[in-house]
Structure 1
Amino acid sequence: MNPLALIFAAFILLFVSCSPDRHNELLLDSKEQISYNYHIRPILSDNCFACHGPDANKREAGLRLDIAENAYAALKEYPDKFGIVPNSPSTSEVYHRIISSDPNEMMPPPDSNLKLSEYEKALIKKWIEQGAVYELHWAFIPPRKVELPSVKDKNWPKNEIDHFIWAKMNQRGLVPNPEAEKSALLKRISLDITGLPPSPELQKRFENDKSPDAYEKMIDFLLEQKAYGEKMATLWMDISRYADSYGYQDDNIRTQWPYRDWVIHAFNKNLPYDQFITWQLAGDMLPNANKEQILATAFNRNHKYTEEGGVIDEEYRVEYILDKTNTFSKGILGLTMECAQCHDHKYDPVSQKNYFELFAFFNNTPEKGYEGDVTQSKPAKTPILWIERNDIDELLGFINHKDSSKIMVSVMEELKEPRKTYILDRGLYDAPTLPVNPNTPESVFAFDSKYPKNRLGLAQWTVDKKNPLTSRVFVNLIWQEIFGRGIVKSTGDFGMQGDLPSHPELLDWLAVDFMENGWDVKRLIKQILSSATYRQSSKVENKKLKVDPENIYLSRAPRLRLPAENIRDLVLSSSGLLVQEVGGPSVKPYQPEGLWEAATSGRGDLKTYKQDKGEKLYRRGLYTFIKLTVPPPMPIIFDGSNRDQCVVNRGRTNTPLQALVMLNDPLVLEASRYLAAQLIADGMDSKAGIENAFTRVIGRKPKTKEIEILESYYEAELSRFQKNIEGAISLVKQGESPISEELIGPNLAALSQVITAIYNLEEAITKI
């Protein structure tokens, strides 16, 4: 055999031995019990439920495969045949159809462009042989704590989390990475808890603390910083679709920012998550509700509003209630309820009736669809909470409002006489059909008679410990924030089409533990950060990369680029420019000219972009003004949410445009110049300045080789600027922060360029 033939034969052998079907055939040879939830339902959901699932309007041949009694029943068109006969593939019509080669009989049909693999067919056959046992969807079964898996290396686990992680690693022949270096751990927890890099002083303090509980003490210290609430609020602003304008064409200014101040405050004082949710859903309906509890209900009012003349009031009023319903279901329950607005859900056991029963909870408010055009615009829409100076002085001290004027915030209010709610044909506002009352999907958790049929009852149902979703969904969100990927990857979809949990027992254990410990958010975060799983090095080994390329089983710490807001925060904080003021109205930092003007109706307060001055230019990314029709460019380039709807999972891309931002953005250039000026003013020579800047930005001391490269770059830039004084002056005058005239020159320009280069290292804006 010639060499090429040998290589080709080896490739084929390797492909066959490594292919999923080959591996899965070996799996079928075992005595493992086939699970409907984990093996069969994903196949049926992807290939069959569109025509044989929950949606009655699209159901073919009267066959429904998502419910056992329907699947076992006689077929409507062939009474002597049955879809599935437990223990008997040979008499199960479903099995006959999936193995048929006749185009008129085979399932899925050829024109669907869907096809089952031989492995999937064998899996269904074995499941039927084992009795075709159906199970409730895993996410609708209340979570429970199972016994901790045993761990061979008794010294590795730091807490219960590690037992579950070890068990999954062990099944796949993986072992955990060693613990990361102390400097890496400090940067990691600082970014995860506060969204800010550790200062050189904090680095030195942690390095010098040799006590056994030094790491735990540092977590506690960081959790007490006000920056913690700001970091957590960034996540919640995406979920609550917070923005500073109304959206649609005119897109005028609104004043919902006191709600953001409340979210920061709630996280900082560690308001239990069940109360956090209850106040936002129905704070206005609590007994003797105060203005703080009412303010929390602004969560429901952050959606877009139209101010365009000629619109139909009822059309947009319904649109706003739809948005509230969808945000609640996606952000808090992790369900794609919006799929049932126009018809029964095709995959989940949620009917259109269920959808509008949930809609009914939010439909009893005096909110209007249209309150006038932009010439009559107000910074809040009815119903309104007025916040006065004495409110801030007495109860709402967390609101950062420097003058004595009143603030208007859109909040919730209940009508005295309930508004009737109807199922809307195809979801259209002007096509009411059958009336419905407030209710929740029974497939999730029945709405007990003890709950009032209003938003307060909905809130009580949501945080009831019997609800299988609420705790799971939030624990998964926090896991995603820390590890970059949820235990359930599809963070906003715990339904039939969502991803299965990678560690189901761990997710359930954490969800139950979270509820048992008073829905304590800070405790949950500390629990995860204290684990050996979290403390691992992020070093990537080829063997692990081949076995687990997505790091699903966490045999190493993930390397994650920082969220958009925290990239800005890192640049500001490490350079010394950051203004650490908490809360207050949003600010307008540097932005390319003409962006707003190119996408505006030319009316209203926001028709032109008026950049802020002074300290407002150096606020955290959380406070950047978000105009819905023209979101701020830097956050969008780094995958920030445009906030026009509830977002629970941002993507992470790598594009050339991101590199151009880090090289040329005025803020990065100004921060580099500002830090360089500080270092030179402190009397540091080039080497000391570079070492100091590197430590501030990267979070560790530079290696000898790194210093040599950066010093060489400094010398080259110094020589260049000595020959081009005008270029040096132009570079160091970037930005509006003041600079001493005596510092302007080639030295400052060269050191600025080196610091810009440090900001452009992958490690600078990556959590490793």
Structure 2
Amino acid sequence: MKPALCLVLFCCCAGAALPEDAAFFEAKIRPVLVRHCYECHSLKSGKAKGGLMLDTRQGIRVGGDTGPAVVPGESAKSLLLSAIKHSDPDLEMPPKKPRLPELVIADFEAWIKAGAADPRESAINAAERPPVDLESGGNFWSYQKPRAAGGTIDGFIQAKLKENGLEPAPVAEPVIILRRLYFDLIGLPPTPEQAAAFSMDQLEATVDGLLNSPRFGERWGRHWLDVARYAESNGRESNLTFPHAWRYRDYVIDAVNADVPFDRFIIEQIAGDLLPAQGDAERARLLIATGFLALGPKGLNEMNKAQFAADVADEQIDAVTRAVLASSIACARCHDHKTEPFSMEDYYALAGIFKSTQTFYGNWIDSENNNHGHLIRLPGLPGQVIPNRPLSADRVRQLKEDLVRLQAEEKAQNEYVAKAKADGRDISGEYHRILATAIRILWNRGGIEGQLETVDEQGHALPLCMGVQDAKSIQDSQLYDRGEIARPVKSVPRGFPKVMGSGAAMPEEHSGRLELARWLVSRENPLAARVMANRVWRHLLGAGIVRTVDNFGFSGERPSHPELLDYLALRFMDGGWSVKKLIKEMVMSEAYRQASTYRSESFEKDPDNRLLWRANKRRLDAEVIRDSMLAVAGVLDTSRRPGSLVAELDGQSVSLIGFNAKLPSDLDGSKRRSVYLPVLRDHLPDVLEQFDVANPNLVTGNRDVTNVPLQALYLLNGPFVQEQAEALAKRIQSSPERVQAAFQFCFNRQPDAGELALSEKFLHTGAQDGFKLLQAFCQSLFASAEFRFAD
């Protein structure tokens, strides 16, 4: 059997888990819950529809308003099984989507019958949660300002190790440190030449070079896009495209490369439209930045305009507070927050700010959309280039004539109905005809208006973006009983959460977004610097100092090194909020440069490595795995993709993705970096989805890392993997030391004697096609664990 086949089949078949095992839950159950359920039923999403939380063992067993979701051993009493089977029309999961595959349902049924083994535990047991009010909230560690403490990163780490009788690991080998740096900072492996030339004397110069590389922004920009829930379609029941979202993607990459101070970066994304600008280019950049608030999924089929506006504001509140504060205030929409010091008044004080904001997202009214989104016109930029889809001046003129005709038809019908009512005539028998005409006019008019908004009189594309601007009407929000739009209680002045102590007044003539943005990153705010420093630490060291990186509240985990976190937050602010300076300090530390060697005596004292007695072994992110294959195959195109494939599609719906011939089946086919691949909600590129790319519906600072058979099958059968293996085979084909060359490209090392002997034996197997054997050998290297891990 070929090595590639042996390796991948072993991953699929060895040690198969049984339904009564925790491993079965991790392989078969948890990934389904994460993908299909957590968006509406998890602490991470801040939502518990129907009172149901599915992200903890306790939550799934206690259930919600209708009873236990899972009753171990009794599938008939487990409402979760009934929901995924769609056996009850009032209890279907996932809602408004096709039923899950039969094999998945069978897995859930077998799991429940076998006792529903579930190794998960909540971050903090409900019984241990203290009563939450302003006083206890104000005394909680994360709501207090960072305290200055003398020391260094290594000083804090080593003090904790010594306190617990632990020793740090020795320094890793230079090539391992180099690979770590390349993967962490630019998301690509070093070349064999770079690895051969590297020495520890060049460490600082290497770090500086990587931080100044344009590839840095693509790598670290993707981290922020995870937090910004970046996507190029709406998702949900109306999956319409966002053809102009790519402008925000490029804004983020450029801002990260330019090391825009993080406080300014946040202000631009929340209130860029309200900032002064010098010239058209700066004004356009600031407008594009506000796309952060426009990218979220929306209930586009909502008929009630007030409800739609309230839901958009709710999603924006959730995104802003999770991204910047790692605390979701959106949970206080219907009642005072159960586990955090946020009241309904806090929520509706923020809601007034976002209800005084108009959101531009670009979808027009049609059969899937009842809410026209419009777009923002940008000054001084070229329009979006859409190959093979120009609008001529004659076509523009025809569309305008069609629009005038539809408007006249609508006016005539309205006058007919009004006259019949005035005359007392009964036209109920014409109801269906009148309704059908109204819907036809509405949908056709929406499509025409949507097209005309994107072009000038000559049919040339206009420069447009998603984003926000202040609404024409600035107003405070009502507080709604149980969050129901039809049950207003009282008006709540716009403002900020009381627990953080800001009493800043809101301007009458503006929404208050600029004041909110400035308050969020003020030195008086205890959270913003801590949260970002923790996010950076997580990406470089493998786990956050606070492991629940999106939750710094009572229900989140406590910091393993609180003094270190405060030190990093203060250093971050004192360093001008420079992310690059913060990264450099971390990667130059001894803690970062440790070996990942396992030691049993240390493991027994600290099995989770919370005290960092060694480096964490980390699997590469999905994008890094894909980009590394392209790089070692020698085919990576490092140029920026102009626009996005999504912008080139015909029509605005991708609800039925297979019907759009311009989309590759795996949403790939590109040789550019993964950050430029299309990001369609509910339809992500195969290679990214298999390796746990962030769910674009959620603010994600901490991606899941799974190890499931589908990953091995993808590495065996994926056309993308096979194509890159073929390209690598061609690259090394003429080398007299093909095996050594392949190992150097993939792992930056020579094969040992055993690896070399096995590889050569395989490459000289029988009379088979020599190139096919070489391609299979290269694919086996791509499929290896060593290729997917930093060290």
1:634 partner letter: V
Q: 1:352 aligns with which of 334, 344, 349?
A: 344
Corresponding position: 1:679 with 2:732: yes
* d(CA) in 2 for partners of 1:630, 1:365: 30
SS in 1 for 2:580: helix
Task: Decide whether the 8 Å contact of 2:364 with 2:371 is kept in 1.
Answer: no
1:543 aligns with 2:601: yes
1:387–1:406 contact (8 Å) kept in structure 2 = no
2:364·2:372 contact (CA, 8 Å) conserved in 1?
no
1:750 aligns with 2:773: yes
* More relative contact order, 1 or 2 (CA 8 Å, 6+ apart): 2
Q: Structure 1 residues 404 and 202, CA, compared in 2 at 3 Å: closer, same or farther?
A: farther
What is the distance in 1 between the residues matched to 2:339 and 2:350? Answer: 18
Provide the C-alpha distance between the structure 2 equivalents of 1:283 and 1:492, rounded to a whole number of angstroms.
24
Contact 1:383 1:413 in 2 (8 A): no
Tell me the residue number matched to 1:256. 245
* CA deviations over 1:21-72 (Å, ceiling 9, x no partner): xxxxxxxxxxxxxxxxxxxxxxxxxxxxx9xxxxxxxxxxxxxxxxxxxxxx
1:638 aligned partner, one-letter code: F
- 1:497 matched to 2:555: yes
Out of 584, 588, 592, the residue aligned to residue 534 of structure 1 is 592
Match of 2:691 among 638, 641, 646: 638
Mapping for residues 504-523 of structure 1, pairs under 5 Å: 504-523=562-581
Matches for 1:340-419 after TM superposition, within 5 Å: 340-367=332-359, 372-374=364-366, 381-386=373-378, 389-390=381-382, 405-419=461-475
Residue 361 to residue 420, structure 1, CA distance change in 2 (3 Å)? closer
Q: Is the 8 A contact 1:480 1:486 kept in 2?
A: yes
Taking the aligned partners of 1:138 and 1:392, their CA distance within structure 2 comes to 48
The aligned residue for residue 146 of structure 2 is 143
Cα deviation digits, residues 229-262 of structure 1 (max 9, x gap)? 0111111111111111122334122121011001
* Structure 2 partner of 1:220: 208
Contact 1:226–1:582 (CA under 8 A) maintained in structure 2: no
Provide the C-alpha distance between the structure 2 equivalents of 1:368 and 1:765, rounded to a whole number of angstroms: 40
The count of residues paired between Structure 1 and Structure 2 equals: 582
Whichever residue aligns with residue 663 of structure 1, its letter is L
Contact 1:140 1:445 in 2 (8 A): no
Q: Is the 8 A contact 1:638 1:653 kept in 2?
A: yes
- Aligned residues of 1:385 and 1:410 also touching (Cα < 8 A): no
Question: For 1:472, what is the secondary structure of its paired residue?
Answer: helix
The whole-number CA distance in structure 1 between the counterparts of 2:247 and 2:137 is 49
Q: CA deviation at 1:699?
A: 2.5
SS at match of 1:535: coil
Write the letter of the residue equivalent to 2:744.
Answer: T
SS at match of 1:406: coil
TM-score when normalising by structure 1: 0.71
Against the structure 1 CA distance between its residues 406 and 293, is the aligned structure 2 distance closer, same or farther, given a 3 Å change threshold?
Answer: same
- How many Å apart are 1:314 and its aligned residue? 2.2
Structure 2 CA distance for aligned equivalents of residues 430 and 583 of structure 1? 47
Amino acid aligned to 1:260: R
Asked if the contact 2:534–2:549 (Cα under 8 Å) also holds between the matched residues in 1, the reply is yes
Matched, 1:235 2:227: no
Q: How far apart, CA to CA, are the structure 2 residues paired with 1:248 and 1:204?
A: 50
SS at match of 1:423: strand
Q: Secondary structure at the match of 2:479?
A: strand
Please list the CA deviations of residues 451-497 of structure 1 after superposition, one character each: whole Å capped at 9, or x if unmatched.
Answer: 88700000110111111000000000011111221100111111111
Once the two structures are TM-superposed, the CA of residue 535 in structure 1 deviates from its matched residue by: 0.2
CA distance in 2, matches of 1:357, 1:642: 29
Provide the residue aligned with 1:169 in structure 2. 161
* Unaligned stretches of 5+ residues in structure 2: 1-57, 59-120, 386-458
| Matched letter for residue 141 of structure 1 | Q
Equivalent residue for 2:194, pick from 165, 187, 202: 202
Structure 1 position 602, deviation (Å): 4.8
* Structure with greater Cα Rg: 1
**Residue 315 of structure 1 contacts residue 369 of structure 1 at CA under 8 Å; is this kept in 2?**
no
Q: CA deviation at 1:572?
A: 1.0
Name the structure 2 match of 1:695. 744
Contact 2:227–2:701 (8 Å) recurs in 1: yes
| Separation (CA, whole Å) in 1 of partners of 2:171 and 2:598 | 13
User: 1:379 Cα deviation (Å)?
Assistant: 13
Counterpart Cα distance in 2 of 1:709 and 1:665 = 25
**Partner Cα separation in structure 1 for residue 760 and residue 786 of structure 2:** 19
Alpha-carbon shift at residue 364 of structure 1 (Å): 0.8
Query: How far 1:349 sits from its partner (Å)?
Result: 1.2
For residue 278 of structure 1, report the CA deviation from its aligned partner. 0.6
CA contact (8 A) 1:316 1:369 kept: no
Aligned to 2:722: 669
- Picking from 543, 554, 557, the partner of 2:615 is 557
- Residues 569, 445 of structure 1: alpha-carbon distance in 2 compared, 3 angstrom cutoff: farther
Which residue in 2 is equivalent to 1:713? 762
Are the aligned partners of 1:140 and 1:468 in contact in 2 as well (CA < 8 Å)?
Answer: yes
Return the alpha-carbon distance in structure 1 between the equivalents of residues 582 and 515 of structure 2: 27
Query: Which residue of the other structure, out of 482, 489, 503, is the alignment partner of 1:447?
Result: 503
Correspondence for 2:274 = 285
What residue in structure 1 maps to residue 261 of structure 2? 272
Task: Check if 1:336 corresponds to 2:328.
Answer: yes
Q: Deviations over 1:597-630 (max 9, x none)?
A: xx96559x97556229999621212122122132
Q: Given residue 635 of structure 1, which amino acid in structure 2 is its aligned partner?
A: L
Which digits, 9 at most, give the CA deviation of each residue in 1:277-320, with x for residues without a partner? 01001000012471111110111000123444x72222222111
1:556 shift after superposition: 0.6
What is the match of residue 428 of structure 1?
484
Whole-Å Cα distance in 2 between the matches of residues 374 and 632 of structure 1? 27
> What secondary structure does 2:469 align onto?
coil
- Give 1:205 deviation, angstroms: 2.6
Give the % identical residues: 30
> How far apart are 1:274 and its partner, in Å?
0.7
- Paired residues of 2:667 and 2:685 also in contact (CA < 8 A): no
CA distance in 1, matches of 2:164, 2:641: 47
The residue matched to 2:377 in structure 1 has which SS?
Answer: strand
Give, as a single letter, the amino acid of the residue that structure 2 aligns with 1:205. Answer: A
| Candidates 287, 291, 298, aligned match of 1:298 | 291
Q: Which residue of 2 aligns with 1:71?
A: none
Query: Are the aligned partners of 1:169 and 1:555 in contact in 2 as well (CA < 8 Å)?
Result: yes
- Aligned residue for 1:693, secondary structure, equals helix
> 2:370 & 2:217 partners in 1: Cα distance?
29
Tell me: CA distance 1:177–1:752, structure 2 relative to 1, closer, same or farther (3 Å). same
1:515-549 deviations in whole A, cap 9, x for unaligned? Answer: 00100110100110000000001111111221111
Note the C-alpha offset of 1:578.
1.2
Aligned to 1:762: 785
- Which residue is 2:86 aligned to? none
Conserved? CA contact 2:364–2:374, under 8 Å:
no
Distance in 2 separating the partners of 1:484 and 1:133:
31
Residue 417 of structure 1: CA displacement? Answer: 3.3
Paired position in structure 2 for 1:188: 180
CA distance, structure 2, for counterparts of residue 390 and residue 617 of structure 1: 24
Alpha-carbon shift at residue 134 of structure 1 (Å) = 10
Q: Determine the C-alpha separation between the residues in 2 that align with 1:276 and 1:133.
A: 32
Aligned AA (1:293): L
In structure 2, do the counterparts of structure 1 residues 217 and 516 end up closer, same or farther at CA, with 3 Å as the change threshold?
A: same
Check if 1:317 corresponds to 2:309: yes
1:561 aligns to what SS in structure 2? coil
Structure 1 residue 388: Cα displacement: 5.8
- Does the C-alpha gap of structure 1 residues 474 and 529 become closer, same or farther in structure 2, counting only changes over 3 Å? same
After TM superposition, the score normalised by the length of structure 2 is 0.69
Q: Deviations over 1:213-233 (max 9, x none)?
A: x11110011111111001111
Distance 1:587 1:188, change over 3 A: farther
CA apart distance, 1:352 = 0.8
Q: Is the 8 A contact 1:314 1:429 kept in 2?
A: yes
The answer to whether the 8 A contact 2:739-2:759 is kept is yes
